[in-house]
Amino acid sequence: MSDEPLILVLDEGTSSTRAILYAFDGVVHGSCSRPLTQHYPAPGLVEHDAEEIWRETLACGREMVAQAGGPRRIAAIGITNQRETVVAWDRRTGQSLHRAIVWQDRRTADRCDALRAAGHEADVQRRTGLLLDPYFSGTKMAWLLGQEAVHGAGEALAFGTVESWLAWKLTGGEHVTDATNASRTMLMALDGREWDGDLAEMIGVPTAALPRIVGNAEQVGVTSSEWFGAPIPITALVGDQQSATIGQACLGEGQTKLTLGTGAFVLTNLGQRKPERPGRLLGTVLCDVGGVRQYALEGSIFVAGSLIKWLRDDLKMLLSAGESEQLARSVPDNGGVFLLPALSGLGAPYWRPHATAVIAGLSFSTGRPHVIRAALEAISHQNVDLATAFAEAGAPWADLRIDGGMSANDWLAQDLADMLGLAVRRPADVETTARGAAMLAAVGAGLHRDLETAAAAMLPPSRSFEPHTDVAARTRRLEGWSRLLAGTE
């Protein structure tokens, strides 16, 4: 390895945490990944151990710093994270006070129902671009306040999403969050620079416990020497889906990306145009760089890769995630089987937090490949519904850029193209979440002038899947999908 400076990205996901080394031209010089334990205390409840997140992230980071040749080789650190997951900790001790409440968790559904019944949803959506749903961070924080250890922290209580927790631990006390993560809490107006006191009061969260809101490409602190051997500046914080959008170079208005990870997330760049009528979609901050804020329209599918993981690990229907592609190809169609993947409720554009999963159309002629194919088809079906909702909200998709671990499935990539009638592009490196954070960190450290320059230097080549739509088959599938949705309301 040469002596060129490198960028270290800490990518804290739902199922694992990773550290990746990038050069200024986007070449990956090393990576380390460690799994994270999933805790399911009861149906609909999903938790992580915040201390485990910190330990494993630090271990991966240290391994990459050593591989780089020491901390002097690292010009900057970027952090990207699973959004909406909430950590509560004590400022005096730096210790977490409860397991982190994960974005998939549905425990605050009743609280959201009560706020909706009280007539608050329209105001929440107007201010924040979000709907009242347990997906978002605010009601999770309010729930945590009801736990003795959290409430007992008093003025020492600190709340934050995962990038905030990691920044605090790495710097020894910088309590910050970035605009993209803040926009997912229901506690910040889309065009706000500080927390909205009225929203915080309505949801029941003290603003004194919340971090300072910063941009996505600026120095927010330096790491304590004890962690990597010397201080390293942290120059980017960004939520994972916004980071993937930037990592796909969706920098112009109308450009769209779909990340197929644990969940599936579509973002369409709106430029500096704040979303005014998102309908059943979400308005969100795409990035805030140099004081200029860009927005996106987002559709969030809660279950995607986690569905394949569930079929593999819990139902034992797959030997590996990669086997799903082979099985889907082994049958000509789904054999009449349809699957509603509501293992954590249904997200956009349905927003049915109490929905549960269903497999319908089973018969003696059903085989394992039909169920697996139906699971993959469900991803496409939901994206067809999302594409319709985006068009109705004034943000039609011109093309689609996919990434994330599940996008490596060629069958699924082609099925998306066929069902959507759109060209689908997939980069050679599908881990664009980390790449977007590297681009932002490079801009924040002054290594690239702006995101356009960073994208030109750091993006890998891509492959295009062109649509070959069988109209009759497409119609049959969507009719079956519609019947399944209607039958489970």
Q: Which domains does the chain have, with CATH numbers?
A: 6-240 (3.30.420.40), 251-427+459-489 (3.30.420.40)
Find the farthest-apart pair of alpha carbons in the chain and give their distance in angstroms, rounded.
Answer: 64
Question: What residue has token string 């082979």?
Answer: 326
Nearest-CA neighbor of 130 among 157, 103, 98? 103
Q: How far, CA to CA in Å, does 371 sit from each of 305, 323, 341, 368, 407?
A: 15, 13, 12, 5, 19
Q: Is residue 358 within a helix (H) or strand (E), and if so which, with residue range?
A: strand 358-360
Dist. CA 76–CA 68, nearest whole Å = 13
CA distance 96 to 293: 32
Nearest-angstrom CA–CA distance, 221 and 92: 19
Positive or negative CA dihedral for 445, 450, 455, 457?
A: negative
DSSP state of 459: P
pLDDT of residue 429: 85
Produce one character per residue of 103-118: b if its CB has 16 or more CB atoms within 10 Å, e if not. Answer: bbbbbbbebbeebeee
pLDDT number for residue 2: 63
Q: Tally the C-alpha atoms within 13 A of residue 79's C-alpha that lie toward its C-beta.
A: 38
Whole-angstrom CA distances from 80 to 9, 141, 234, 481 are 8, 21, 11, 34
What are the tokens at 332?
A: 């000509």
**pTM of structure:** 0.85
Q: Collapse the DSSP code of 157 into the 3-class scheme (helix H, G, I; strand E, B; otherwise coil) and give the result.
A: strand
Cα distance between residue 457 and residue 214, in whole Å:
26
| Spans in the chain with pLDDT lower than 50 | 1
Q: What is the pLDDT of residue 195?
A: 97
pLDDT in the model for residue 351: 82
DSSP of 208-250, one letter per residue?
Answer: GGSPEEE-SSS--EE--HHHHSS--EEEEEEEHHHHHHHHTT-
Tokens of 470: 């069988």
**Which residues are CB-neighbours of 151 under 8 A, at least 6 positions away?**
145
The CA angle 136-138-143, to the nearest 5 degrees, is 110
* Cα–Cα distance for residue pair 202/123, rounded to 1 Å: 11
